[in-house]
Amino acid sequence: MSVLELRDVSRWYGNVVAVNGVSMTIGPGVTGLLGPNGAGKSTLIHMMGGFLAPSGGQVGIDGQRIWKNPSVYRNIGLVPERESAYEFLTGRQFVRSMAKLHKLSDPGAAADRALGMVEMLPPADRAIGTYSKGMRQRVKMASALVHDPAVLLLDEPFNGMDPRQRLQLMELIRKMAAEGRTVLFSSHILEEVERLANHIEVIVAGRHAASGDFRAIRRLMTDRPHMFAIRSSDDRRLAAALIADDSTRGVELTAAGLEVEAVDFRRFTQLLPQVARGADIRLWEVSPADESLESVFSYLVSS
C-alpha cells in the first residue's frame, strides 16, 4: 500500500505557470487525473515520476521525496505517454532488460509474468518496431509492471487504442487496483475516467479544480447552466415561451437566432419540443453551445 502526496506543488517554465499550487493525496485504487489537453496533467505526472523538479512544493511517495531519489523506482512503475520504446528490441528483450535494471533475481521469469499479465506472450519475440499502437502500450505496461510496483503512473494510456484494446487495458487496470496498487492515470476523456476511476482529480489550467468521488463531480458537471443556440421559424415567440418556464434562466435574441441559458438541462430538453409544437413554431437548429470539455471544466473551476 503506497500513497503519493503532492503538497502545494507548482511548476512554471519562465513566465508560464503549468501547475499552480496543487495539493492531493493519491492512495490505493484507481484515480483518474482528468483535465483538458494542456491543463498540466503530464507535467504533474512527470513530477510524480521524478522527471521534473517542482518549482515549488513537494512531491513524495510514502514520505520519501521523489525528485533526485532513484530508490523510489522500486515502488513506482511509469508508463509514459510517448509511444517510443526501444524498437530494435523484441518485447521480451525489452521487458527482461527492464527486469535486469531492477536487479530482480529471475529477470526472465519476471518478464514472462509481466508479459503474460498484458497478454503479450505470443508476440513477445517480435521486434517492438513491428507492434501496433495497442501492443506497444501493453508492452510498455509490462515493462512498468515487471518489478511488481505498488504505484502505477499511466500518462494518457488509452490514446490511440481501439475499443477492444481499451477494454482490455481497463480490465487490467482494475485488476491492478484490486490487488491493492495505487493506480493513477491521466485522461482528457470524461467517459474513460467515468468507467474506470472511483476517485478523480480534476486539473484545469494548471489548477486543482475538483477532487473526490466521480458521481458527485459528474453531477456538478451536468447540473451546470447549459447554453443552447437555437434557430426557429419564429425566434421571438419561442423566446417568450421559453422564458416563461423555470428551466430557462435567460434568452438572448441575436442576429443568428436565440441563445438560451438553461438551468435544468433535463427539463429544458423535454420542454423545448413541447413548447415549439404548442406554439406551432418549427425548430431549424438546436445545438449545445458550450458542451466542450473545456467549458465544463471552466465551469467547475468557477463553481
Partner 1 sequence: MNTIAYITFRGMLGRRRALLLFILPAVLLLLSIGLRVTGNADLDTAAALLTQFGLGALLPLLALLAGTGVIGPEIDDGQIMYLMTKPIARPIISTTKYLVAVALVVGFGVVPIFVSGLIMNGLTAGLASGFALGALVGGIAYCALFVALAVMSRFAVTIGLIYALVWENLIGRYASGARTLSVRQWAISVTDLGTNATSVTSEVHGSTAVPLLIVLTVLGVAVAGWKLRTLSITGSD
In whole angstroms, give the CA distance from residue 197 to residue 180.
14
Phi, psi of 115 (to 5 degrees): -65, -35
Question: Which stretch, 34-42, 227-235, 240-248, 273-281, contacts partner 1 (CB under 8 A)?
Answer: 34-42
Assess 139 for contact with partner 1 (CB under 8 A). Answer: no
Tell which one of 70, 122, 163, 278 touches partner 1 (CB under 8 A): 70
Nearer to partner 1, 229 or 301 (CB): 301
Which residues is 12 bridged to in the sheet? 17
Which residues is 4 bridged to in the sheet? 26, 61
Tell which one of 10, 58, 97, 298 touches partner 1 (CB under 8 A): 97
Nearer to partner 1, 48 or 260 (CB): 48
Q: Are strands 64-65 and 56-61 parallel, antiparallel or unpaired?
A: antiparallel
Smallest gap from Cβ 40 to partner 1, in A, equals 6
Smallest gap from Cβ 116 to partner 1, in A, equals 20
Any residues with CB less than 8 A from the CB of 194 and at least 6 apart, and which?
214, 218
Assess 18 for contact with partner 1 (CB under 8 A). Answer: yes
In whole angstroms, give the CA distance from residue 152 to residue 123.
24
Largest CA distance in the chain: 78
Angular region, 236: left φ>0, alpha ψ -120 to 50, beta rest:
alpha
Smallest gap from Cβ 88 to partner 1, in A, equals 4
| HSE (side-chain half, CA atoms, 13 Å) at 251 | 21
Site for partner 1 in 226-255 (CB under 8 A): none
Tell which one of 2, 24, 41, 251 touches partner 1 (CB under 8 A): 41
Smallest gap from Cβ 63 to partner 1, in A, equals 17
Nearer to partner 1, 102 or 231 (CB): 102
Alpha carbon separation from 152 to 14, 111, 232, 274, 288 (Å, rounded):
30, 17, 52, 51, 37
Nearer to partner 1, 52 or 276 (CB): 52
Assess 109 for contact with partner 1 (CB under 8 A). Answer: no
Tell which one of 137, 143, 182, 187 touches partner 1 (CB under 8 A): 143
Neighbours of 199 (CB within 10 A): 18
Any residues with CB less than 8 A from the CB of 265 and at least 6 apart, and which?
222, 223, 226
Assess 208 for contact with partner 1 (CB under 8 A). Answer: no
Assess 38 for contact with partner 1 (CB under 8 A). Answer: yes
Assess 51 for contact with partner 1 (CB under 8 A). Answer: yes
Instruction: Kindly list the residues in this chain that would bind partner 1 in the complex (CB under 8 A).
Output: 13, 18, 37-43, 45-46, 49-53, 68, 70-74, 76-78, 80-82, 84-86, 88-89, 97-98, 100-103, 143-144, 155-156
